[in-house]
Amino acid sequence: MKKIDKTKAELFKELEETKKVVQELNLCQAEFEKSRERYEKLLDSSPDAMIFINTLNEIVLVNAQFEKIFGYSQEEILGKKLDILLQDKFRKKHSKMVQKFFENPDVRSMGSHFGIYAKKKDGNEFPADISLSPLQTDEELLIMADVRDISKRREAEEQIELNYYIQKVTNSMLKISLEPLSLEDQFDRILDLILNVPHLSLQSKGAIFLKYPEAEILTLKAQHGFTGADPLPCTEIPLGHCLCGKAASMSKLIYAEDMKGIHEIHDVEMFPHGHYCVPIVSGKNLHGLLNVYIQEGHKRSGREEDFLTSVASALATIIERDRTEQEKKDLQRQLTQAEKLAALGRFTANVAHEIRNPLTSVGGFARRLDKTIPENTKEKNYAKIIIAEVTRLEKILKNILSFSRETTPNITENDLGEVVERVLLMNEYLFKEKFIAIKRSLENLPRFLFDSDLIIEVLENIVLNAIDVMPTGGTLTVTTEKGGGPGKSNVFIRIRDTGDGISEEQMKMIFEPFYTTKAAEHGTGLGLSITKKIMESLDGRVEVESEVGKGAEVILTLPFVLK
């Protein structure tokens, strides 16, 4: 039979042993608590977010850095599925990856996964690197995920890559500018370059506009990404109007994240977009504008602005170089033309001198014969034809000699009103013959300094031209007036006819020597060239304004200088 009762000594011994066991347990518990505190401190001191996940894809533990990065508290996140921290498009794929990891757990280092974006409590997302480690506990297998926010690293990497592309694009642009291509072709290739640079939120659409000197509009020179079904909205933009025109007029980059209220000058149905409008400027000179399209709602980016500004600066250099080359070619053509005209002038002057003496003899004898031949005879008609042709040739020789010789003004004090009236009186018989009415509005000017003979020659050329363009009658209006400021006064002589006017193409050529719109027997094409040469020798100028069907007006400007 088993002994139930224990002696007092035995009971005391068991009590002592029990106390020792409890003491050991308390020591173990304290050591466990210390170890847990150290482990939690170690987790919380990590610069990365630490997440522990069970086989159900549930979050069972996070560290303090997790709360800072993701914005969730421990109470909010524990027990939630890991999917809550991922973009919607990654959730399904990531769940399968977690399942496979539990089936074959191993350590996976940072950066071994494809690029992934984590999502914070507020919905904002950031690029992340994740390392995975299996952790076997007494109860279950866990996955420890180390999540690192790599936004700054990614931004630095993209900035380095962007700087590389900026330098590459700039070098390519300068290389393109040296190729034998038209400016439009160069712009096409440059647009293709800049609209395909990585890490810029640009649509593959853009345009380059040019501003020509003295023009108040931007003219389209190149476009990229537009088709017949999806056309570019604007081909011409007045300065100061719409987004592009305002950016150009202020020489300031303008940004718009959408098109609400920014388009003013076209009715084309627009696709959703925003804009970077970047003026192409060199110093104080506006050369044009670079317009690139961005996704609607895209936020303004300093990196993009810096890139586009550098592109615009390179475009300004290309445009200036092209214009300098064009100016050099124009000057070369003008020099060549001037040399040809000088040689032609010397040649024609020599020919004119050689022809003038025998022509004078022919004219003189023809006029003598005309006086002796009876009227209404064939011989009389022949004599009149000879006289008329000699007169025409003498006029041609006079113009050629006037054009060829150097003009040296003889400046004296004269009355402009008297000079104008003299020219009108000289042609009075032609006005009557052609049924041309004369209108005068001559300001009563004091006598001032100019060469009266040269002004008579100029007025004669212009008046005869006006008579020729009104063969069936019309009105010739002559006005004189004084204008300009007190320090620099001018006198304006305006001669207006009611002929057919001059076309835009003809206007470009009217001052060219030997260019004429008349029949060969009515002119040499030297009248306006001589006029321009004379006016320049008098420190004046000649201008022509015309509208087809409404006549033309010649404006002569003379400096008003008193003796």
**Is the whole-model pTM more than 0.75?**
no
66-88 per-residue burial string, b: 16 or more CB within 10 A, e: under 16: bbebbebeeeebeeeebbebbee
C-alpha separations of 436 from 31, 480, 495, 554 in Å: 125, 20, 14, 17
What pLDDT band is residue 227 in, cutting at 50, 70 and 90? Answer: confident
More confident residue, 184 or 517: 184
| Mean pLDDT along residues 470-487 | 84
| Mean pLDDT along residues 170-185 | 83
Per-residue pLDDT reduced to its tens digit, 352-384: 666 767 777 777 787 888 788 888 888 888 888
- Would you say 341 and 513 are in contact if contact means Cβ atoms under 8 Å apart? yes
| Mean pLDDT along residues 65-91 | 82
d(Cα 30, Cα 526) in Å, to the nearest integer?
117
Closest among 394, 395, 369, 405 to 384, alpha carbons compared: 369
C-alpha separations of 276 from 191, 237, 286, 291 in Å: 14, 16, 17, 6
Tokens of 531: 């006029």
* The pLDDT of residue 145 is above 60: yes
Closest among 290, 262, 307 to 205, alpha carbons compared: 290
Closest among 15, 304, 295 to 6, alpha carbons compared: 15
Positive or negative: CA dihedral 435, 440, 446, 451: negative
C-alpha separations of 75 from 38, 62, 140 in Å: 21, 10, 22
Per DSSP, helices labelled H in 373-481 are 378-404, 416-426, 428-434, 452-468
Closest among 512, 460, 509 to 344, alpha carbons compared: 512
Number of Cβ within a 10 Å radius of residue 21: 10
More confident residue, 541 or 408: 541
Residue 486: its pLDDT value, please?
A: 58
Per-residue pLDDT reduced to its tens digit, 117-130: 888 888 888 888 87
What pLDDT band is residue 66 in, cutting at 50, 70 and 90? Answer: confident
Residue 76: its pLDDT value, please?
A: 86
Per-residue pLDDT reduced to its tens digit, 306-325: 888 888 888 888 888 888 88
* The pLDDT of residue 330 is above 90: no
- Would you say 489 and 477 are in contact if contact means Cβ atoms under 8 Å apart? no
